[in-house]
Amino acid sequence: MSASHSVQGKEAPYYYVPADSGHPVRTAVALLLMGLGAAGWINGVSWAKWSVLAGFIALIVVLYYWFGDAIQESEAGMNSKRIDGSYRWGMSWFIFSEVMFFAAFFGALWYVRTITTPWLGDMDHRLMLWPDFQAVWPNFGPAGVVEHFQTVGPFWLPTINTALLLSSGVTLTIAHHALRENHRGKTMFWLAATVILGFIFVACQAAEYHHAYTELNLKFNSGAYGSLFYMLTGFHGFHVILGATMLTVILIRLMRGHFRPDHHFGFEGAAWYWHFVDVVWLGLYLFVYWF
């Protein structure tokens, strides 16, 4: 028997296997409703948006109970060191998949700026296809097919958001060290500060989007620049919302007495995700707003 966790003197099993569950099937049905609704919505089907809404609500409800079951298993002492290792590997591969997701969009930004734009602006293409095309970044496409827009610079909202996320990484690290030292009050204070900074970031990004759309005429169809700007920053903003939500759940669990200095991977997993979000933003700040 390997070393295992225990709760209130109860030893965890070597490898806990949960009982049969209907959660995966319910999740699949919810996702099916959302997928069918999304396809119908795009094609103008009247009931499609209600299908998306029903599927989304069903998904939230199922995940609430599914995660609740996992939390109860952990608090009941069912998770041994082997289960803990499985969680850590699972979260590591999940974050790796997210790294690859953003790498694809960063790669698209690099390819368009460094390869495609100069290539379309060489003498052969200008003579044969688009004589008026200017090989500059960002550009308005051949023959002015893209409405004129202004780019988003680093000052001031993006810089403020950078300070907010970097600060949130510091507060989260302080909270983690406090938890390891069993200072629960200090942990909750600094974790709450992290959550607040995260949602302030989202509010600032919403203000930035409003400014870009209404005053800079920067839209999703504003050429390659517009689409990549909103895809990169928009998906990052979604990840910030997801990460802040995860940390909010962790904060609620702390208030309920969950986690111990030697058994708190739920906290650590959410912290890993938040630090990943911070690093991605630094890349965005440099390559989208500065270069």
Mean pLDDT for back-to-back runs of 10 residues, the chain (291 residues): 42 71 94 96 93 96 92 84 88 96 95 86 68 78 78 91 96 96 95 97 96 93 91 96 95 93 91 96 94 82
Q: How far apart are CA 283 and CA 287, in angstroms?
A: 6
Kindly tell me the burial class for residue 25, based on how many C-beta atoms sit within 10 Å of its own C-beta (0-12, 13-18, 19 or more): exposed
Q: Which amino acid is at 30?
A: A
Q: How far apart are CA 66 and CA 23, in angstroms?
A: 6
CATH 1.10.287.70 fits 20-77, yes or no: yes
- State residue 163's pLDDT score: 96
Name the residue ranges covered by the structural domains of the chain.
20-77, 78-288
- State residue 127's pLDDT score: 63
Q: Which residues of 126-145 are buried (b: 16+ CB within 10 A; e: fewer)?
A: beeeeeebeeebbbbbbeee
- State residue 41's pLDDT score: 94
- State residue 122's pLDDT score: 75
Fold of 78-288: Four Helix Bundle (Hemerythrin (Met), subunit A) (1.20.120)
Q: What share of the chain is helix, strand, coil (3-state, %, to 5)?
A: 75, 0, 25
**Dihedral of alpha carbons 286, 279, 217, 43, sign:** positive
- State residue 120's pLDDT score: 77
Q: How far apart are CA 58 and CA 34, in angstroms?
A: 10
Q: Which pTM value belongs to this model?
A: 0.86
* Closest C-alpha among 199, 203, 200, 178 to residue 189: 178
- State residue 241's pLDDT score: 96
- State residue 140's pLDDT score: 78
- State residue 3's pLDDT score: 39
